[in-house]
Amino acid sequence: MIVAIDGPAGSGKSSVSKKVASMLNFLYIDTGAMYRALTFYAIKNNIDINNEKALELAAKEIKIDFLPLSPSLDGRGVGEGEQYTQKVLLNEMDVTIDIRTPLVNQYVSPVSAYPSVREIMVKHQRELAQTHKNVILEGRDIGTVVFPYAEKKFFLIASLEERAKRRLKEQLERGFNLNLEDVKKELASRDEYDSTRKVAPLKPAADAIIIDTTDLTFDQVVKKIVSLCEA
């Protein structure tokens, strides 16, 4: 079974996808982390973010891998943070923390909007999924572009205020000094960019199940998705 979980930043799709994957014993593939890894690689190697050809070549030459999910060692519980962690490897180097910085946040949307870059990344994502029987992929266009034939499709949403609070808490825990208004502006900007881009815009698939997580607990969202997948 292929399960697609899409949604905007801060909607809870990453933590929910990890928990659901663990409960169903599925392979978890964070497609957004792949674009983040490429963005980090470009920044580190002084590749012009506005040069699509250069980014396309970089996407072809880098290797991105995921290690299996493992229990978080920081002691935080479900609903308060990530219960499961997954290391992201870029050319066999652990970049799990590096790809979540504010600088990467700033540039990942334009990098992921290039058609040639997305074509290469989608190919990588399909290759990963094809080697496993059961997978959960989360991102922004999994149910519409990457796997339009996925057996289960979910689209998580939440109010901007709630998403900003979640993202701020996450960034503060990682040591970044931000404020709520700045995070709200960043999320609103990303929403606008991702929803209006010409290639693979952020939108729910016609047959996706939309779940508003604003007033739901983490466990409620997970339980709903798991029960629908098992059904």
Supply the pTM of this predicted model.
Answer: 0.78
CA distance 132 to 130: 5
The answer to whether 1 and 134 are in contact (CB under 8 A) is yes
pLDDT band at 79 (very low <50, low <70, confident <90, very high): very low
Question: CA-to-CA distance for 54 and 60, rounded, in angstroms?
Answer: 10
Q: What is the pLDDT of residue 75?
A: 41
- Given this model, what pLDDT does residue 72 score? 63
DSSP notation for 109-174: HHHHT-HHHHHHHHHHHHHHHHTSSSEEEEESSIIIII-TT-SEEEEEE--HHHHHHHHHHHHHHT
Residue-wise pLDDT for 23-41, tens only, equals: 998 989 888 899 999 999 9
| Domain ranges within the chain, ordered by starting residue | 2-230
Torsion region of 53: left, alpha or beta (phi above 0 gives left; psi -120 to 50 gives alpha): alpha
User: How large is the average pLDDT for residues 166-171?
Assistant: 87
CATH class, 2-230 region: alpha beta
The answer on pLDDT for 166 being more than 50 is: yes
Residue in this structure with the two tokens 């209006």, named with its chain if needed: 196
Q: Lowest mean pLDDT: which of 16-20, 79-83, 168-172?
A: 79-83
List, for residues 98-131, the tens digit of each pLDDT value.
999 989 999 998 999 899 999 999 998 998 888 8
**Tokens of residue 228, six digits:** 């629908």
Mean pLDDT of the chain: 89
Q: Say what the pLDDT of residue 229 is.
A: 95
Is residue 180 within 8 Å of residue 187, measured between CB atoms? Answer: no
Predicted confidence at residue 73, as pLDDT, reads 53
Rg (CA), the chain: 16
Residue type for position 11? S
